[in-house]
Amino acid sequence: SKLPCDGVVIEGSLVVNESMLTGEPMPIQKMPVEHSQHAAITKKNIAYAGTTCLQSTGPQDGKALLVATAVGALTMRGQLVRMVLFPTSVRFKYNDQLPFVYMILCAYMVLLCAIYLSPLVNLHSWIASYLFILNNIAMCLSPMLPVSMVMGQSVTARRLEKQHKIGCLQPGRIPIAGKISTMVFDKTGTITKDGMDFDAVISVQDARFGERIQFEPDEGDDEAVAAENAEVVRARVPAGLRH
């Protein structure tokens, strides 16, 4: 059964499967804390919520005794879920350089205002000069610039989810997606199971991938597809490799 909370083993021992948290399907034994004033609580003494208890031995009706230390969102599993739902903010380089960009815009605004107030530009009216200066200030230091950036990221996130079925929890990360050159995927037990199912074989001929050869039909395939698949296996797969 699955453990409902995080806890420290004080009597007996447990054998748990922590693949829900660590991705490793190997059983791990949890030992009780030593009865000493200087005993330290380590990972081998702590059982986590969501892990599967495979074996429990101890003095309490043959079961181990566990003292609960965290429940709900405070458990290790709850912290992992919270970290996925609310990821830590990422500071991007262009965000850190925005003050420098605003300094350049301010200098540009001051230069334009000085030109309009100088004798080089004669608009024959102080009202026209005032309107030109006000227009330059609004153009250089637009208060809608941060709002425009957020709106653009929100529209992009909605488009990704609608057209490509890609959900983004932090739209602020989308602008750097175009600079990704390498993406590495790691197999983890938290989204898979302990065993592996053999599905198909893709042969390599002349340094090129061939067609996908599936040994067993998928669920829902009709008899014609299954017969065609079996014929492909008999024609392309040696007899010694079919079993």
**Residue given tokens 């492909």 in the structure block:** 232
Strands (DSSP E) found in the chain? 6-11, 13-17, 27-30, 46-47, 52-57, 65-70, 200-205, 208-214
The residue length of the chain stands at 243
Asked if 57 contacts 63 with a C-beta cutoff of 8 angstroms, the reply is: yes
| Residue 75, Cβ density class (10 Å: 0-12 exposed, 13-18 middle, ≥19 buried) | buried
Longest distance between any two alpha carbons in the chain, whole Å: 99
Q: What angle do CA 74, 66, 18 make, to 5 degrees?
A: 60
Catalytic residues: 186
Asked if 20 contacts 50 with a C-beta cutoff of 8 angstroms, the reply is: yes
Q: Which two tokens mark 151? A: 């709106």
Rounded Cα distance, 218 and 203, in Å = 20
CB neighbours of residue 5 within 10 Å: 18
Asked if 8 contacts 49 with a C-beta cutoff of 8 angstroms, the reply is: no
Q: Which two tokens mark 40? A: 């330290």
